[in-house]
Structure 1
Amino acid sequence: MVNWKEIPQLPKAEGRIDAIDLARGIAIALMIVSHAVSGLVGIRNVPDWGMVPVHFLTKFSSSLFILVFGVALAVAFLAHTQTEQWPKRRLKLWLRALEVWFWYKMLIVVEMLPFSAPGDIVDTLLYGRFAIWVEILGFYAIALLWVPLILPLWARAPLWGRIATIVGLVLLSAWLQGVSFGGNDILKALLVDHQDHYAWGQISRAPLIFIGLLMGEALLRCYFSARLRRRLVLTLMGAGALMIAAFYGVALVEGDVHAAMMAVALNAGKHPPGLAFMLFSVGGALILLGLALADGALAARVLLPLTIVGSDALKAFIFHIVMIFLVLRFLLEGEGMYTYPQALGVGGLLILGAAAWIWLTRWMTKHR
């Protein structure tokens, strides 16, 4: 029976959980494929059979990435918030925020360099506008500043308080969509998304981080017991299946399922978050997370390139952005030179290339 007033006493993870790296690697791999297609071919040039199902399924990526962010925070940091180690671990998160923010700014230049004027790049660097493909890093850089302040409060909060926080943030985000923010669209985009900017709102995406924290707590209790892990996996996959079923249910009521799938593939409802998009994206993310956890150690070995990619998400992100926008688009002038199947192939090669680059840099560090 669930005790809604109980304050959790979390066990500490013994070492790295490879299944989390695998889940994160799947999210990054879907992101790389999506960026390769949109960066080299352009969404308008993708054939219908590519939009649905291929580009349609890549929409699991963003929600899975943010959920796994919350899971990893719970596993690596939550149990330490009430110990003497916390100030050191909190500083580690803030330093990580600075590192991510630095690469976010550098990759803005890389993304915009091929076709943007220097003044536009500078304006973007100064938060006068937003880029497109690298904005997820901007979201994480800011999130890593406030999340360490919230974690100790979250660790002491009863379950009802944590659930209420998630529901409250969802409602607050929906209400703030109707607020003009004094005409400051940049601020609105940073806080709750804006339809004219490809930024990720901190308030609108915070519920996914907190849901990830809840799942991370469950993972700490269940992962090392086959029976409990099986129950957790079935719960995650069942919840995900219900959300996807709800997406198709809404589409059937509206009368055109294929149009609803195409709308999601074209990012309708992504910025700001819409009901249909989030039902599909979060539902698929939960199913993929459940699959990654089902037999995490074995799956992580079988899908080793994805696990390696997920073990250093920042390095993988840097690698694929540099290769797509600096090398292929700018140096080799490759935009529009690839067919859709070729762009998919490039995406697959970039996933393997990112894994190889991470492995090589670790090997070089180890043998210095």
Structure 2
Amino acid sequence: MSGAVGVQARQVFPVGAHNGRIRAIDWARGAAVSLMIVSHGVNGLLSFDQIPIWHMVPVHLVTKISSSLFILVFGVALAVAFLPHVGTADWPRRRLKLLLTGVIILFWYKLLTVVEMSHLFEPEDIVNALLYQSFPSYVEILGFYAIALLWVPFFLPLWKRMALPLRIASPVVMVGLWYYLYHHFHFWNNEPLQALLVEHEDHYTWGQLARGPLILVGLLLGELIARYYRKPLARRVLAGSIAAASAVLIVIFLGLAGTDLPQELMAIARNQGKHPPELMFMLFSVGGALFVLALAVLGAEKLATALKPITVIGSDALKAFYFHIIVIFVGFRYLLDYFHSVSYAYAMTLTLLLLLATALWIQLTAWIRAKT
């Protein structure tokens, strides 16, 4: 049973195609995780004020697309690897495995919460975070996935029965529901509940309704990718369409920013508008995420092979996530005492080495697994 669960965990965090793995999706996921590692590696050691302005924009600005890309690819992965099995005799088993994968991710979320907070927080603060009274920041996205995997397995059959117009409209409907609840409903003054569902300005969380629309968009794109990926001309048209959607969002962002563009870019680089999500941040983040996804679809297997370390990281994203968090918070912060005590160049060098080490770790453990 544990071996089967492990396979399913690798299918949710890095899903392959049901008729052969789509390595381009691994690459897109690996790009998201790699950008996340760059952000965590530097921000985990330095404050924003210690990062040179010319590195905040563009280097750390670009990392702000990672979370949106990660969630989009999650939806793509569900559409490619699980949606085709909905309604089949095998679906109950696969649904159970999705739920068990959520339990696995919840375990890692809570364990890494302790890892993240143990350096700077008191035990009572850590206990509060474990009991959902407060939230960490660096590992909080795992909490989002763990909860999402409690409702997604029951939502997929409904999604498959929806008419196409309703599927297309569903992300907009969810955005509308999020907006109404965030602004007009206070969840009985229960801040953690509000944070988990729609986000709260005092808690660093990924709300299910706030980020759920990206899962739905990913489902839509995933169905198209599964259908057209093996057809070169159709794949190029699909990649161009995704790139066009990216361009629309970026043009809207640039139009709204106007003459304040430098200030807007710096604000986004400093996470302004990330939690709860604000329009400018989401336009930039989702626009960039769609561009990377378009690049992955266009480059296909050639891109995945040419940039293999990124693809390797995306092939087991959960392992990449817990590895880099442990190295940063146990190795760099606690054992080496590098927190706020190294230069930006040194922190970035460590982070780039961590990227390479993460790929090597995944490759090594995969080799060991294959040999045993």
TM-score range normalised by the length of the shorter chain? over 0.9
Per-residue deviation at 1:165? 2.0
Question: Counterparts of 1:48-59 in structure 2 under 5 Å?
Answer: 48-59=53-64
Per-residue deviation at 1:163? 2.2
The answer as to whether partners of 2:51 and 2:344 remain within 8 angstroms in 1 is yes
Question: Which of these residues, 269, 275, 282, is aligned with residue 286 of structure 2?
Answer: 282
SS at match of 2:33: helix
Match of 2:4 in 1: none
Question: Which of these residues, 204, 208, 211, is aligned with residue 210 of structure 2?
Answer: 204
Give the distance between the partners of 1:349 and 1:158, measured in 2 at CA.
48
Unaligned runs of 5+ in 1: 1-11
Say yes or no: does 1:338 pair with 2:342.
yes
Question: Counterparts of 1:5-20 in structure 2 under 5 Å?
Answer: 13-20=18-25
Question: Which of these residues, 326, 329, 335, is aligned with residue 322 of structure 1?
Answer: 326
Question: Which of these residues, 85, 108, 113, is aligned with residue 90 of structure 2?
Answer: 85
Give the distance between the partners of 2:27 and 2:242, measured in 1 at CA.
16
Per-residue deviation at 1:204? 1.0
TM-score (norm: length of structure 2):
0.94
Match of 1:174 in 2: 179
The answer as to whether partners of 1:113 and 1:330 remain within 8 angstroms in 2 is no
Match of 1:357 in 2: 361
Give the distance between the partners of 1:330 and 1:100, measured in 2 at CA.
24
Match of 1:236 in 2: 242
% identical equivalent positions:
54
Counting matched residue pairs gives 355
SS at match of 1:267: coil
Moved more, 104-113 or 330-339: 330-339
Say yes or no: does 1:215 pair with 2:215.
no
Give the distance between the partners of 2:271 and 2:296, measured in 1 at CA.
25
Aligned-residue CA RMSD (Å) = 1.0
SS at match of 1:272: coil
The answer as to whether partners of 2:65 and 2:289 remain within 8 angstroms in 1 is yes
Question: Which of these residues, 35, 41, 46, is aligned with residue 30 of structure 1?
Answer: 35
Match of 1:62 in 2: 67
Give the distance between the partners of 2:211 and 2:62, measured in 1 at CA.
20
Match of 1:44 in 2: 49
Match of 2:11 in 1: none
Question: Which of these residues, 257, 260, 282, is aligned with residue 251 of structure 1?
Answer: 257
Give the distance between the partners of 1:342 and 1:87, measured in 2 at CA.
50
Give the distance between the partners of 1:38 and 1:262, measured in 2 at CA.
15
SS at match of 2:89: coil
Cα deviation, 1:330-363, whole Å, max 9, x if unaligned, reads: 1111101221122222221111111111111111
Per-residue deviation at 1:44? 2.7
Per-residue deviation at 1:181? 1.6
Per-residue deviation at 1:215? 0.1
Per-residue deviation at 1:67? 0.2
Cα deviation, 1:96-139, whole Å, max 9, x if unaligned, reads: 10000000000001001111111111111111100110000000
Per-residue deviation at 1:84? 0.5
Question: Counterparts of 1:108-257 in structure 2 under 5 Å?
Answer: 108-178=113-183, 179-252=185-258, 255-257=259-261
TM-score (norm: length of structure 1):
0.95
Match of 1:8 in 2: none
Question: Which of these residues, 338, 348, 354, is aligned with residue 352 of structure 2?
Answer: 348
Give the distance between the partners of 2:360 and 2:93, measured in 1 at CA.
32
SS at match of 1:177: helix
SS at match of 1:336: coil
Give the distance between the partners of 1:341 and 1:75, measured in 2 at CA.
40
Question: Counterparts of 1:274-313 in structure 2 under 5 Å?
Answer: 274-313=278-317
Cα deviation, 1:187-210, whole Å, max 9, x if unaligned, reads: 111001111111100011111000
Question: Which of these residues, 92, 99, 107, is aligned with residue 94 of structure 1?
Answer: 99
Question: Which of these residues, 109, 112, 137, is aligned with residue 107 of structure 1?
Answer: 112
Unaligned runs of 5+ in 2: 1-16
Say yes or no: does 1:268 pair with 2:267.
no
Give the distance between the partners of 2:299 and 2:268, measured in 1 at CA.
30
Runs of 4+ deviating beyond 3 Å: none
Cα deviation, 1:61-80, whole Å, max 9, x if unaligned, reads: 00000000000000000011
SS at match of 1:132: coil
The answer as to whether partners of 1:31 and 1:61 remain within 8 angstroms in 2 is yes
Give the distance between the partners of 2:189 and 2:267, measured in 1 at CA.
28
Give the distance between the partners of 2:57 and 2:189, measured in 1 at CA.
37
SS at match of 2:44: helix
Give the distance between the partners of 1:64 and 1:235, measured in 2 at CA.
17
Per-residue deviation at 1:242? 1.4
Give the distance between the partners of 1:339 and 1:159, measured in 2 at CA.
53
Moved more, 27-36 or 111-120: 111-120
Give the distance between the partners of 1:61 and 1:341, measured in 2 at CA.
22
